[in-house]
Structure 1
Amino acid sequence: ELRLFNLVVQLRLVNSLNRCAGRVEVLHNQQWGTVCDDGWDLKDAGVVCRQLGCGTALSAPRGARFGQGSDRVWLDEVNCAGTEAALSDCKTRPWGDNDCTHKEDAGVVCSDSGISEVAQIRLVNGSSRCAGRVEVLPNQQWGTVCDDNWDLQDAGVVCRQLGCGTALSAPGGARFGRGSDHIWLDEVHCAGTEAALSDCRAEPWGASNCDHGEDAGVVCSEVAQLRLVNGPSRCAGRVEVLHNQQWGTVCDDSWDLQDAGVVCRQLGCGTALSAPGGARFGRGSDHIWLDDVNCAGTEVALSDCRARPWGESNCTHGQDAGVVCSELCVIHSEIMPVWPAPSSGLQVSV
Structure 2
Amino acid sequence: MCFLSCQAVLGNSTSGEASSVRLVDGSSSCSGRVQVLHDEIWGTVCYDGWDLLDANVVCSELGCGEAKEVKLAEYFGNSSGQIWLTEVKCFGNESSLTECRADKWGQNVCLRDLYAGVICQPRTRLVSGINSCSGRVQVLYNGMWGTVCDDGWDLSEAAVVCREIGCGDAIEVKSSAYFGEGSGQIWMDGVNCSGNESALSKCEYHELELNDCNHSEDVGVICQSVLRLVEGFDACSGRVEVLQNGKWGTVCDYNWDGSDGTVVCKEKGCGNIKVLTYGAYFGATSGQIWMGNVSCNGEEATLSTCAFEGWGTHNCLFAKHAGVICDLPVRLVDGDSFCSGRVEVLHDGRWGTVSDDGWDLTDAAVVCRELGCGDVIEAKGGAYFGQGSGPVWMNSVDCVGNESSFIQCNVDHWQHNNLDNLHDAGVICNEPYSTNRGSVQGLESSVKVLLRIEMKTDPKFNPNDHRAMSKLSKEVRTVTRVTMSCIFLQTSSGCIIDSLYLHSLETHRLRRSCK
The change in CA–CA distance for 1:4 and 1:24 in structure 2 (over 3 A counts) is closer
CA drift of 1:245 comes to 3.0
Higher relative contact order (Cα pairs below 8 Å, separated by 6+ residues): 1
Q: More deviation in 9-18 or 176-185?
A: 9-18
Q: Is the 8 A contact 1:118 1:162 kept in 2?
A: no
Q: How has the CA–CA distance of structure 1 residues 211 and 25 changed in structure 2, closer, same or farther, with 3 Å as cutoff?
A: same
- Which one-letter code corresponds to 2:33 in the other structure? R
- Matching residue of 1:50: 63
- Residue matched to 2:459: 233
RMSD, matched Cα: 5.5
Q: Aligned to 2:76, what secondary structure does the other structure show?
A: coil
Q: Distance in 2 between matches of 1:169 and 1:245?
A: 16
**73, 77, 97: which one pairs with 1:67?**
77
Match of 1:111 in 2: 161
**SS in structure 2 opposite 1:5?**
coil
SS in structure 2 of the partner of residue 218 of structure 1: strand
**1:215 and 2:321 aligned:** yes
Cα deviation, 1:291-346, whole Å, max 9, x if unaligned, reads xxxxxxxx933x613269xxxxxxxxxxxxxxxxxxxxxxxxxxxxxxxxxxxxxx
For 1:242, which of 457, 469, 473 is the aligned residue?
469
Alignment match, 1:326: none
* CA apart distance, 1:267: 4.4
**How many angstroms does 1:234 deviate by?**
4.4
What amino acid sits opposite 1:32 in the alignment? V
Number of the residue aligned with 1:5: 9
Partners of 1:235 and 1:17 lie apart in 2 by 41
Return the letter of the residue paired with 1:132: G
The answer to whether the aligner puts 1:23 opposite 2:10 as a matched pair is: no
Q: Distance in 2 between matches of 1:24 and 1:186?
A: 23
Mapped partners of 2:70, 2:265: distance in 1: 18
Q: Answer yes or no: is 1:169 the counterpart of 2:280.
A: no
Alpha carbons of structure 1 residues 61 and 201: separation in structure 2 relative to 1, 3 Å = farther
Q: Bigger shift: 118-127 or 246-255?
A: 246-255
> Identity of aligned pairs, percent?
28
Question: Helix, strand or coil for the counterpart of 1:198?
Answer: helix
Could you tell me how far apart the structure 2 residues matched to 1:201 and 1:11 are? 25
Higher strand proportion (structure 1 or 2): 2
Do residues 202 (structure 1) and 308 (structure 2) align?
A: yes
- After TM superposition, the structure 1 stretch with the greater mean CA deviation from structure 2, 116-125 or 101-110, is 101-110
- Displacement of 1:206 in angstroms is 1.6
Question: What SS does structure 1 have at the residue aligned with 2:266?
Answer: helix
Matched ranges for 1:86-105 at <5 A: 86=95, 105=117
Secondary structure of the 2:277 match is coil
3-state SS in 2 of match to 1:203: coil
TM-score, scaled to structure 1:
0.51
Deviation at 1:212, TM superposition (A): 3.2
Deviations 1:250-297 (Å, cap 9, x if unpaired)? 5556699x955x416x246xxxxxxxxxxxxxxxxxxxxxxxxxxxxx
Distance in 2 between residues matched to 1:45 and 1:166, nearest whole Å: 37
Structure 1 pair 37–130 and aligned structure 2 pair: CA distance change class (3 A): farther
Aligned ranges 1:1-350 → 2 under 5 Å: 5=9, 11-15=21-25, 22-24=32-34, 32-33=45-46, 47=60, 49-50=62-63, 65-67=75-77, 86=95, 105-107=117-119, 111=161, 113=163, 115-116=168-169, 119-222=225-328, 229-230=436-437, 231=457, 233-235=459-461, 241-243=468-470, 244-247=476-479, 250-251=488-489, 262-263=500-501, 266-267=503-504, 300-301=507-508, 304-306=510-512
Q: Does the C-alpha gap of structure 1 residues 142 and 168 become closer, same or farther in structure 2, counting only changes over 3 Å?
A: same
Structure holding more helix per residue: 1
Structure 1 gap ranges (5+): 79-83, 89-93, 269-298, 309-350
CA distance in 2 between partners of 1:11 and 1:152 (Å): 38
Gaps of at least 5 residues in structure 2 are 1-5, 12-17, 38-43, 103-112, 123-159, 170-222, 332-370, 373-433, 438-456, 471-475, 481-486
Matched residues in 2 for 1:16 and 1:263: separation? 39
1:336 counterpart residue number: none
Q: CA deviation at 1:124?
A: 0.8
Does the CA contact (< 8 Å) of 1:37 and 1:62 recur in 2?
Answer: no
Letter in 2 for 1:300: T
Q: Which amino acid aligns with 2:322?
A: A
The offset of 1:72, in angstroms, is 5.5
Q: What TM-score do the two structures reach when normalised by structure 2? A: 0.37
CA distance in 1, matches of 2:62, 2:467: 49
C-alpha distance in structure 1 between counterparts of 2:273 and 2:117, whole Å:
28
Distance change >3 Å, CA 6–CA 87, structure 1 → 2: closer
The structural deviation recorded for 1:5 is 3.2
Shift in alpha-carbon separation, 1:259–1:182, aligned structure 2, 3 A? closer
Contact 1:121–1:134 under 8 Å retained in 2: yes
Q: How far is the alpha carbon of 1:147 from its aligned partner?
A: 0.9
Deviation at 1:168, TM superposition (A): 2.1
Contact 2:498 2:510 in 1 (8 A): no
Q: How many residues align?
A: 252
Q: What displacement does 1:165 show?
A: 2.4
Deviations 1:160-192 (A, max 9, x none): 111112322322212211123111111212232
